[in-house]
Structure 1
Amino acid sequence: MDRTVRTVEDVLALLDGLFVSESGSGHLAAGDGKDFWDRFYADRSRPVPFFPAKPDESLAGYLERGLIAPGRALDLGCGAGRNALYLASLGFEVDAVDLSPVAIAWARERAAGAGAEARFVCGDAFALAGTELSGPYDLVVDSGCFHHLPPHRRVSYLALVDRVLAPGGHLALTCFAAGEEGMGSELADVDLYREGRLHGGLAYTPASLRWIFSDLVEVELRRMRDEPPGSPHFGEGFLWTALFRTSEPSQPR
């Protein structure tokens, strides 16, 4: 007889197990997701849109428009490090985390080749927050990680962001868009548990993102622009890009 649930984290870990047969919980949490993403990143010659070392067009735009400024940054589910290295090249102090050792090895190779300084950490960001990923960070970047999390791990995700993001700091999010010309599963959360599958990632509506991140201030939420192959930036129209920020600390009277 197995009676292992005592804490909220025990419940979350139990629910993780409902999805491990597909790809685990994406770039952040443990399970067999590590093996899935290791296989995914093993063949660097594959024509995957986010394999080239290009930053998100939205992230570049935030900086060009002065919506964010250099500071401390955390890249969640960093993959091969394209956004992390871009931020480091602009003077950010960057920590980047991914579940996949293969992805992290590629990111470190790119950093060495570019002479860029960024700290790449392999592991579960939910477990590392407060230890190796101590914060506070002025910017948290997530390009394609959030939509690979099962619904119950949104609780962990919001707690992580709340723990590490500095007052007045920003969350730059890129995720699957629901609706016409979007991508990802539009099944209701409860149906995902009934099927035990994430169907390659979850689609979100603007309303759902605004509700999930309602404790943050929305700066911008729009469809990502399609970028041609020769562009210096990554952009796919089936994604949302969003910029949220925490409230500024209260000023003493």
Structure 2
Amino acid sequence: MTTTEEFWEAFYSERDQVWTGNPNELLVEQVADLTPGSALDLGCGEGGDALWLAGQGWQVTAVDVSATALARGAARAAEAGLADRVDWQRHDLSRSFPTGSFDLVSAQFLHSSTEAEGERGRVLARAAEAVAPGGVLLVVGHAEWPTFVRDNPPVDYRFPTNADVLAAVDPSRRWLVEVDESVVRELTGPNGERGTRTDVVLRLRRPERS
């Protein structure tokens, strides 16, 4: 069986650049009203979100399992004059996790076909523990396959709901739910297919006191 690290290393090695380099639109929308502080970007990939956060004044810890993706992000940070604002760390989040607490913990589309049952929930529970009192946990994920592959998906995968995330990170329901919504977006597939996909957004604020 392919390990998580092997899967993502192969994924990023296929091309010199996989993503556009732009930040995720839903991250930009949800973070716009937050005061910059310390941020943890889980599954940062080539660093589009981390670099945008750094450019907005955040001090970012950017984490990914792929050394190739992290190297690309670090190179872009140096080119943009943001090297001192981003700490790039390699972690397989099912095995190790960055230390410290953060004003913002962001998990954008933290999905993988190699994850074990319940693994994403356990990672997000660790993510919640890393949020400083009064800080924000932002989890954005896909809710379904795009319409143009829905009848013939590439792998058998159950997309977690916001209720699943809440059960994993806040079983006692003490956190403030600031955003709990679904967003339908238009998109184009790799072969020019036109369709839509639904994403889910969950923004939680940790209480100042336990």
Question: CA separation in 2, counterparts of 1:210 and 1:165?
Answer: 15
Q: What letter corresponds to residue 101 of structure 1 in structure 2? A: A
Structure 1's 157 and 227: CA in aligned 2 closer, same or farther, altered over 3 A?
Answer: same
Instruction: Indicate the SS of the match to 2:185.
Output: coil
Aligned 8 A contact 1:96 1:118 in 2: yes
| Aligned match for 1:173, one of 125, 139, 146 | 139
TM-score by length of 1: 0.66
Structure 2 match to 1:221: 180
Deviations 1:95-152 (A, max 9, x none): 01111111111111111121113111112235443xxx22210111111215654333
1:211 aligns with 2:170: no
Q: What letter corresponds to residue 205 of structure 2 in structure 1? A: R
1:42 aligns with 2:7: no
Structure 1's 69 and 225: CA in aligned 2 closer, same or farther, altered over 3 A?
Answer: farther
Structure 1's 225 and 238: CA in aligned 2 closer, same or farther, altered over 3 A?
Answer: closer
Question: CA separation in 1, counterparts of 2:186 and 2:56?
Answer: 21
Q: Which has the higher strand share?
A: 2
Percent pairwise identity: 29
1:238 aligns with 2:203: no
Question: CA separation in 1, counterparts of 2:37 and 2:148?
Answer: 33
Higher-Rg structure is 1
Which 5+ residue runs of structure 1 have no aligned equivalent? 1-20, 24-31, 185-197, 230-235
Which 5+ residue runs of structure 2 have no aligned equivalent? 189-195
Structure 1's 238 and 210: CA in aligned 2 closer, same or farther, altered over 3 A?
Answer: same
Structure 1's 180 and 80: CA in aligned 2 closer, same or farther, altered over 3 A?
Answer: closer
1:97-116 alignment, distance < 5 Å:
97-116=63-82
Q: What letter corresponds to residue 164 of structure 1 in structure 2? A: A
Question: CA separation in 1, counterparts of 2:155 and 2:186?
Answer: 26
Deviations 1:60-104 (A, max 9, x none): 11233x2x2211001111110111111000110100111111111
Question: CA separation in 2, counterparts of 1:45 and 1:179?
Answer: 26
CA root-mean-square deviation = 3.0
Structure 1's 155 and 84: CA in aligned 2 closer, same or farther, altered over 3 A?
Answer: same
TM-score by length of 2: 0.77
Instruction: Indicate the SS of the match to 2:141.
Output: strand
Aligned length: 194
Structure 1's 158 and 174: CA in aligned 2 closer, same or farther, altered over 3 A?
Answer: closer
